[in-house]
Chains A and B, each alone.
Chain A
């Protein structure tokens, strides 16, 4: 497992790519979920009872940053199919969308644009924020393990 990770991330480009995914994704989600405020001052705030939401955001960002570069490596270096890449992106999108709509500017824009359909979608994403994030983590975890497995097999075949 460690060897496979080393294989991908020994190329510095993939370390940069992982950082480029992790940092903006985590900061963006923390801003959307109101753990970080930019105006009138830059403030980080972790209200009591919201610790789980914070931890889930960090895990989703970390898993996305781990899984997506590994799949790009598979596609670029090993010329594999793009099939497994979908799981990583799908998991990341679910994780990002859950709770991001809520009562903030995104939710307001969605409801203003799509009316009652937008309101229903926003309500769903807000009410089931934690379960959706857990599902997103599960999808990313499954994608991680299947990617690892296929990298092992494909690398053995190639070498």
Chain B
């Protein structure tokens, strides 16, 4: 009886863990399927999937370039605290929109992230790019390296390669660049914090304290 009880207990715990895991993974979109999506004045229809709870009341729209060193700084210094305190707690979500302008490898890097999104690995690829950043057009984001990143993440290599080589997402990236310009973004990283009562623009890789002040005033 005791043995049976233990087995039933283990099964129940496993089921609860499975449900919890599937629930938490559904908190972040893996693919952006909403082609009419807007946040405030910004059309994010062609942007990234949503990081965090899609129903969160506040959205951070980040405009960035994978070759921008200030974006790298923000990714490493400010974003982790925002993810910990606001995104993981369901208060805020985040969308990345490309403003790829710095060099010849910027647009292919952005396109590559959407090729990764085809295989539900957008955020993993995005993070890998920001963890691998070197100098502008220094070769770290050339075609071969972008494919090598896909390989290292275990993506279907042929699918990724054909997507990147065919420039499948060229127009998507151009659309995002135009969105940045239309919304007055003149450098990267640039942010809009979009809340229920309006939106606040933040320019540059500003510290966590600034984001905290703005976010807390909107919650």
Binding site for B on A (CB under 8 A): 34, 37, 39-41, 43, 45, 47-48, 50, 102-105, 107-109, 111-112, 116, 119, 122-123, 126-127
Q: Which of B90-117 contact A (CB under 8 A)?
A: 101-104
Are A102 and B213 CB-contacts (below 8 A) given A45-B207, A108-B101, A123-B103?
no
Q: Report how far A37 CA is from B210 CA in the complex, Å.
A: 10
A123 contacts B137, C-beta separation under 8 Å: yes
Q: Give, as a whole number of angstroms, the nearest-CB distance from B168 to chain A.
A: 24
A103 contacts B70, C-beta separation under 8 Å: yes
Number of interface residues of B (CB under 8 A): 31
Q: Give, as a whole number of angstroms, the nearest-CB distance from A98 to chain B.
A: 13
B73 contacts A47, C-beta separation under 8 Å: yes
Q: Is B120 an interface residue (CB 8 A)?
A: no
**Beta-carbon nearest neighbor of A116 in chain B:** B104
Are A108 and B187 CB-contacts (below 8 A) given A103-B68, A119-B104?
yes
A-B contact count (CB 8 A): 76
**Beta-carbon nearest neighbor of A103 in chain B:** B68
**Beta-carbon nearest neighbor of B217 in chain A:** A40
Q: Report how far A2 CA is from B200 CA in the complex, Å.
A: 52
B206 contacts A104, C-beta separation under 8 Å: no
Contact of B205 among A34, A39, A105, A116 (CB under 8 A): A34
> What residues of chain B lie closer than 8 Å to A41, measured between beta carbons?
210, 213
Q: Give, as a whole number of angstroms, the nearest-CB distance from A2 to chain B.
A: 41
Q: Give, as a whole number of angstroms, the nearest-CB distance from B210 to chain A.
A: 6
Q: Is B171 an interface residue (CB 8 A)?
A: no
> What residues of chain A lie closer than 8 Å to B103, measured between beta carbons?
119, 123
B202 contacts A40, C-beta separation under 8 Å: yes
Q: Report 19 cross-chain contacts, Cβ distance below 8 Å, ordered by A residue.
A: A34-B205, A39-B202, A39-B203, A40-B214, A41-B210, A43-B206, A47-B73, A47-B77, A47-B205, A103-B69, A103-B187, A103-B188, A103-B189, A105-B203, A108-B187, A111-B102, A116-B104, A126-B136, A127-B135
Contact of B187 among A48, A107, A123, A127 (CB under 8 A): A107
B204 contacts A104, C-beta separation under 8 Å: yes
B203 contacts A103, C-beta separation under 8 Å: no
Are A109 and B136 CB-contacts (below 8 A) given A45-B206, A103-B70?
no
Q: Give, as a whole number of angstroms, the nearest-CB distance from A21 to chain B.
A: 25
Q: Report how far A43 CA is from B101 CA in the complex, Å.
A: 27
Q: Report how far A50 CA is from B136 CA in the complex, Å.
A: 18
B101 contacts A34, C-beta separation under 8 Å: no
Q: From A41, A103, A108, name the one whose CB has the most chain B CB atoms within 10 angstroms.
A: A103
Contact of A34 among B65, B70, B137, B186 (CB under 8 A): B70
> What residues of chain B lie closer than 8 Å to A104, measured between beta carbons?
70, 187, 204
Contact of A111 among B73, B101, B201, B203 (CB under 8 A): B101
Are A107 and B102 CB-contacts (below 8 A) given A43-B209, A102-B70?
yes
